Structure formats: structure tokens, C-alpha cells
Amino acid sequence: MKSMMIVLALGVLLTGCANNLSRHKIHPDLVGQISEKKVALNLNLPSKHIVLKETQYRVLWLNYQQDKVSYEAVWDSDKDFEEAYQEGFLRMGVLADPKVDSASYKKAFTKLYPSLPMRERFCQVPNSCGPKLDSYSKVYQTPEFDEFAADLISGGYEYLIDVTIPEFIANDLNLGVKVIGSYPTINIIKLDSKDLISQKVATITHRISAKNDLEKIHEDGMAFFKEAVFSGISGSFREKAVWYGEEYWAY
């Protein structure tokens, strides 16, 4: 048996996941602290998959059916995600530079990713909530990260914003409600000391039109999926939630 958490509010019911973020709040001065500094941005996309999920209500229980598909075959997504997060941080007043050579670190992260313990306790779809927050310390102790950090420091960078986007969930609740979302973790690291000064789960959640068929998610260059994802990322920066770890739903 596994425990699950459902909030009666619609939002969490749609996403099927809740996060305890209060202990990860950061000091409001952090924005000011890093906005004047040279900041690098790195995105990790260790599993470029979408979990397609269909829920059918049966009064006393719910039937789920799910399949996991790869979007990598049709979408070279890294640059698009980098631009979306760069824009989001720019709106916060932080110029985060994604043009850094992180290939070796990304490769090491992707290799290490399957062995990291996953946040499954409140996660409706196994593995889709990403790694447990404290497991990132293991990632930041790898030689590849040391090398990456040293390169950044020699390039004049003082902080690294390290974003990890796990699998996406596309959920059809069969009541005309369809939601696309994910649970990216945003870690901010002070490079000279390698201190993790902030850690957030900045949820991406966006409700899509009921007429969009998840079975046809590949059509038109994945247009409705991309629109939902980037609206969700934009929403994750709203109200500075990305800094304070507040949950929100961008419908």
C-alpha cells in the first residue's frame, strides 16, 4: 500500500501532488543579493518523458490508466527551456546566463539521476515528482560538478541557478478537465563555498482545453503541450512564488 494525499481544492486534485515547501523558503534579500552578481543558469532534463494519464470516476473509486512517452524524438527542448527560465529570472531582476558549457555535468547528472531517491510519498505518478530535495547534495559532490563550478568561477560567475525538470504529467480527468504539469526543482548555489542557498519546487501546472486530445499530443509540433508548459513556467514566476516556494496554479 502506498499513502497518497489529496487536497479537496481542485488544484491539487488535478496535479495529484502536494509539496511541503515551507522549510525551503529563502530570505527575501536573496534577489538583491544575487541580482548584482554574475549568475549562470543550467537546466537538467534527465528524463524527457511525458506521463499520459487518464482518470475515470467510478463513484467509490478511481480508475487510472497511464503510459509514458518520450518527447525527445520530436522536440529538441533544451534551448527552449533555457530561454523560458532565463526570461522568468529576468522578470525577477536576475540576469541568469544559460550560455555556459555544462555538458559534462549534465551527462553526469543524467547518469546519476536514476539512482537518486525520488519524492514518491505525495506523488501520484511514480518518479514524476523528481528527486528528494536532500539528494541533490549527492549531485553537487560529483567531480563533474566540481569541474563545472571551477569553470564558472574562472569565468567570473558567483552563483549558479540549477534547474531540474523531471517528467511531465498530462492528466485527463475525464470531466472535461485536462492538466499538464511538472515539478521542477530550482537550486541556487553560491559557487565559491558551494553552499546551496535556496531550494524550491517551482510547480508547472497549466489547464488545457478539453478539446485537446492527449492521444494527439505529438501533432502540430506538440503545439498545445508546449503552450501549456511555457504558460506554466511563466506562471511559476508569478508573484515571486519561485523565490518563496508558494504553490499556485496557473489556470
User: For residues 143 and 24, is the Cβ–Cβ distance under 8 A?
Assistant: no
How many C-beta atoms lie closer than 10 Å to residue 144's C-beta? Answer: 18
Q: Which is nearer to other proteins, 18 or 228 (CB)?
A: 18
Among the candidate windows 4-12, 28-36, 91-99, 158-166, which touches other proteins by CB under 8 A? 4-12
CB of 156 to other proteins, least distance (A): 34
Q: Which three cell numbers stand for residue 47?
A: 528524463
Q: Which of 23, 73, 99, 154 contacts other proteins by CB under 8 A?
A: 73
Any contact of residue 220 with other proteins (CB under 8 A)? no
Q: Which is nearer to other proteins, 188 or 241 (CB)?
A: 241
Question: CA of 148: how far to CAs of 196, 214, 238, in Å?
Answer: 15, 38, 30
CB of 53 to other proteins, least distance (A): 9
User: For residues 133 and 185, is the Cβ–Cβ distance under 8 A?
Assistant: yes
Tell me how long the chain is. Answer: 251
User: For residues 192 and 203, is the Cβ–Cβ distance under 8 A?
Assistant: no
How many C-beta atoms lie closer than 10 Å to residue 177's C-beta? Answer: 16
Tell which residue, 174, 162, 238, has the closest CA to residue 205. Answer: 238
In a 10 Å sphere around its CB, with 0-12 CB exposed, 13-18 middle and 19+ buried, how is residue 134 labelled? exposed
Any contact of residue 71 with other proteins (CB under 8 A)? yes
CB of 162 to other proteins, least distance (A): 25
Any contact of residue 22 with other proteins (CB under 8 A)? no
Site string for other proteins, 178-207 (x = CB under 8 A): ------------------------------
Any contact of residue 4 with other proteins (CB under 8 A)? yes
In eight-state DSSP terms, residue 37 is S
Q: Which of 14, 217, 233, 242 contacts other proteins by CB under 8 A?
A: 217
Any contact of residue 218 with other proteins (CB under 8 A)? yes
Any contact of residue 209 with other proteins (CB under 8 A)? no
CA 238/CA 91 separation, integer angstroms: 9
Site string for other proteins, 27-66 (x = CB under 8 A): ---------------------x-x-x-x-----xxxxxxx
Any contact of residue 120 with other proteins (CB under 8 A)? yes
How many C-beta atoms lie closer than 10 Å to residue 149's C-beta? Answer: 19
Among the candidate windows 68-76, 92-100, 136-144, 188-196, which touches other proteins by CB under 8 A? 68-76
Question: CA of 116: how far to CAs of 46, 120, 133, 207, in Å?
Answer: 12, 12, 10, 30
Interface ranges with other proteins (CB under 8 A): 1-9, 18, 48, 50, 52, 54, 60-74, 118, 120, 126-127, 213-219
